[in-house]
Structure 1
């Protein structure tokens, strides 16, 4: 799968149905040795909310349950 194929997909928590973000507004963390994606990093808030609460959510690639046409479903324990 290409990164461009992930762009625009919503990231949804499978158990809660909560929308966590959209790929394209997230960062990807790669393993430098293998080139594999390790995590999605979803930023929170904006410049206005600087310093208030958690700034990002990190989702391990292994927590992705399925990648569909419009969304990515995750099953994270965090």
Structure 2
């Protein structure tokens, strides 16, 4: 799947298994392979309410978990891959 970074900006990330809105692509960091330039994964921060309290770990979304990229959303499937926390 060939996608420009500018095409991803602002899209909502939705988990297809439960319909949960995980965040926006613009809020994520990308892990990119230095040799190929391909996206390895998305790092989605999970902030606490109003920035107060203990900050939780990031959600790592493997690029292989991306199922569909539409005009407004990116659909991911995390159930089979599992959620990976750092």
TM-score normalised by structure 2 residue count: 0.81
Structural mapping, 1:55-74, within 5 Å: 55-74=57-76
1:48 and 1:38 map into 2 onto residues whose CA distance is 31
Q: 1:33 Cα shift?
A: 1.2
Equivalenced residues, count: 76
Give the unaligned 5+ runs of structure 2: none
How big is each residue's C-alpha offset from its partner over 1:7-47, in whole Å with a ceiling of 9 and x where there is no partner? 00000000100000101110000011111000011001154
Give the unaligned 5+ runs of structure 1: none
Secondary structure at 1:24 match in 2: helix
Aligned alpha-carbon RMSD (Å) = 1.3
After TM superposition, the runs of 4+ consecutive aligned structure 1 residues lying more than 4 A away are none
TM-score normalised by structure 1 residue count: 0.89
